[in-house]
Structure formats: C-alpha cells, structure tokens
Structure 1
Amino acid sequence: MADTALTAPPRSPLAHAAGRLAAATRASGGAVRLAELPFLAQVNVRLDAKGPAADAVALALGLQLPLEPDTVVRAGELTALWLGPDEWLLVGPPGTQHDLEGRIREAAGEEPVSVTDVSAQRTTLLVAGPRARDLLAHGCALDLHPRVFGPGRCAQTALGRTQVVLVARDEARAGFWVLVRSSFAGYLTDWLLDAATEYV
C-alpha cells in the first residue's frame, strides 16, 4: 500500500486553532476578528535598490519595491514589505511563490540578487476589528496609533515576546497581518486569545 503521508495535503500550523479563533471573534461581538491566513506565498528578495536589477524586478512584478523604511507597497494581490535598505518580503496568494521567484530571477538576469522562498517559515494571523490596535498594544512596544503606524506601514517587532513582522493593511478596517514563525504560531495564538478575553 502506498504511503499516503507523503501525498497528504499540507496542514497549516494553526489548523487546530481555527475553531478557537472563530469562537473568540464571535464572542467579542466583532470588537476583534482573529483568523489564520494560511499558506500565503512569501519570497525574500535582496538586491541593490539603486542598481539596474531593482527597476527590472519592479517592472516584472508590476510594483515598485518600497524604498522608505517600514513601508508597504501593494499592487493587486501582491504586497511588498520593506525589511531593510536592500531587503524586501513579497507576500502573494498561496501557491504563487515559484512564479514570483522565476519572474525575479529572469528580470535580474546577471545582476546580483538573492531570492528565497520563505513561505513555509511563517504563517499569517489576521487581527482586525475596532479593538485590533488595543489588542496588539497589550504585547507590542510600538506606538500603534494610526498617525504613527497607519495603513501601509510594517515593522519587524516583538508581539507577546515573539518576533513577528507586523503589517497595517491598506484600509483601516482590513486590520493587521501578523507574520509569525510557524514554530511560534501556536504560542502567539494562545497569547492573542488570552489577551482578547478583555473584549469578550
């Protein structure tokens, strides 16, 4: 008999917590909305922001890589996060990572560029609702006021003592993405659920 374990569909690191996240959302009456966004494509890109590869890659992707620190650029379903002067994280729909990698490598040609699929490294939690900022503020040292960390901002920071990439989505009602390493996702989910009890 064939070993089906090798052909089983992938399982997200928070599949076991989906019911608890949904229950917390219902119990809060919409004050907070918690959910996992599993399997988003995540591709780390490093290149010279002033070199010819940057323009070629931007053209191939259909979006300009953000040059201002801690900002986000979005075009269609593709989001680019500034992580450093020569480093970005591209986030796209599930299953698009190989296409993104190929487009970047082809566009860069012989120019020096590093492209790494890190999709399996992290999962993404959605934290939304009118009290989303208050919930995140329980465990994040950043000033999350909309004037400081409004739509289109991102940061590498700690949330509940866990390293994350925090993204303020491009509409205030869209809430936040919390990109967290898969090995810490369960802990961070428990932390968020515990902190959310204030709004239940």
Structure 2
Amino acid sequence: MADTALSVPRRSPLAGAAERMADVTRSSGGAVRLAELPFLAQVNVRLDPKGAAADAVGLALGLSLPLEPNTVVRSGELTALWLGPDEWLLVGPPDSQGEWENRIREASGDGFVAVTDVSAQRTTLLVSGARARDLLAHGCPLDLHPRAFGPGRCAQTTLARAQVVLVARDQLGAGFWVLVRSSFAGYLTDWLLDAATEYVRHD
C-alpha cells in the first residue's frame, strides 16, 4: 500500500485562528495586527562564548552571537536571540534548520557545541500595530516602554501566564514576535483576541 502520510498538508498550530486574527486586524483599523508566522526554523545553540568555536560559528552564520543579555542580532533572514550566557536561539525561514545545524557543526569542529532543532516546539505570533505594546502589557510583567524594551531586545517571560520568548523587532513599528509553545498557542491567541477587543471599532 502506498504511504499517503507524506501527502497530508502540514497544518500550523494556529491555522484555525487565522480568520479571527485577520478580523481583529481589520476591525481595529490597524491599531492591533495579529498573525501567525508558521514553521519558522528554530535552532537552540549552546557553546562557550569565549571559546574558539564561538568565532567560527559566528563566521559560518554570518553574524556574531549577541553577548549582551536579552539582545538580538540579525543578519539577512537569520535572527539570533540571547537566552543565557552560553545559550542562543536562532530563528530563520521555514525549513532552514537543517542548513543552520550543518553550518554550526562543520564550523565548530572538535569544539564543544550543542545544537538542537526545536522548530516543532513553538510557533510564532506577530503582534504589531500602534497599540501592540498596550495589548501585550495587559498580560506581561515586563516594562514594555520603548526605553526599557526597545527594538533589538528579547526576553524569556510570561504572557497571560504562558511561558513565551518575546522579541521587539529591530525597527520601530515592526512589532513583536511572541514565540510560544505549540500546546499553549491556541490559549494565548484566544487571550490576545479577547484583550484586543478594547481596540476594535464598532462603526
């Protein structure tokens, strides 16, 4: 019997919420924009930032891994998030994780580097618009004022009690990435949609 599993279309964790998110985006007049960025490649990297492998890996990736806590470095389509003194999360285009893993392993040689594909662990919500910070502030304990959490910052935090990685995109107005575990994505999206009703126009 032919294997039909490969013919089944891949379905993102929030595919069923796409229309509701688009409705809020329209009805808020753009004050709040919600969308899923499905299937982004996510690769966790652990290495000694002072070791020789760090420089080699940076060259292979075309960027320097950020060393300042809770900061982001971006080059082309690849974004590196600081998660800890020896831990980073690389985020890239869908299905590119194999390429990044191979580059890191080849560049590190005999150096100690741990590389883990975590792409299936989370999905990514894009939250943007003029009231994006206000929306997130309803459920996030961080100070989200641009002076405290401006473009190029990231943090592991909670949003509506769900564990997330929050990223302020590197341009004002570009909004935020909210990386959330797939099992919590539906709950968090429902919370965001409910909180966003404050900004919906009733013409």
Alignment of 1:193 with 2:201, yes or no, is no
Residue 59 (structure 1) aligns with? 59
Question: What's the RMSD between the two structures over aligned residues?
Answer: 0.8
1:3 Cα deviation (Å)? 4.5
Residue 12 (structure 1) aligns with? 12
AA partner of residue 15 (structure 1):
A
Residue 184 (structure 2) aligns with? 184
Residue 120 (structure 1) aligns with? 120
Q: Distance in 1 between matches of 2:6 and 2:99?
A: 24
AA partner of residue 110 (structure 1):
D
Q: Distance in 1 between matches of 2:95 and 2:3?
A: 24
AA partner of residue 58 (structure 1):
G
AA partner of residue 93 (structure 2):
P
Aligned length: 200
Q: Distance in 2 between matches of 1:94 and 1:100?
A: 12
Alignment of 1:166 with 2:166, yes or no, is yes
Local SS of the residue matching 1:152: coil
Q: Distance in 1 between matches of 2:138 and 2:63?
A: 34
Q: Distance in 1 between matches of 2:40 and 2:16?
A: 18
With the length of structure 1 as denominator, give the TM-score of the two structures: 0.98
1:5 Cα deviation (Å)? 3.5
Q: Distance in 1 between matches of 2:49 and 2:9?
A: 38
Q: Distance in 1 between matches of 2:67 and 2:181?
A: 25
CA deviation vs aligned residue, 1:152-184 (integer Å, no higher than 9, x gap):
000000000000000000011110000000000
Q: Distance in 2 between matches of 1:2 and 1:71?
A: 48
Structure 1 residues not aligned, in runs of 5+: none
Q: Distance in 1 between matches of 2:186 and 2:6?
A: 24
Residue 26 (structure 2) aligns with? 26
Q: Distance in 2 between matches of 1:188 and 1:161?
A: 9
Q: Distance in 2 between matches of 1:169 and 1:76?
A: 14
Local SS of the residue matching 2:173: helix
Q: Distance in 2 between matches of 1:135 and 1:149?
A: 15
Local SS of the residue matching 1:163: strand
Alignment of 1:75 with 2:72, yes or no, is no
Residue 152 (structure 1) aligns with? 152
With the length of structure 2 as denominator, give the TM-score of the two structures: 0.97
Local SS of the residue matching 1:172: coil
Q: After TM superposition, which residue ranges in structure 1, 4 or more long, deviate above 4 angstroms?
A: none
1:6 Cα deviation (Å)? 4.2
Q: Distance in 2 between matches of 1:179 and 1:39?
A: 11
Residue 45 (structure 1) aligns with? 45
1:7 Cα deviation (Å)? 3.1
Structure 2 residues not aligned, in runs of 5+: none
CA deviation vs aligned residue, 1:77-110 (integer Å, no higher than 9, x gap):
1000000000000000001000000000000000
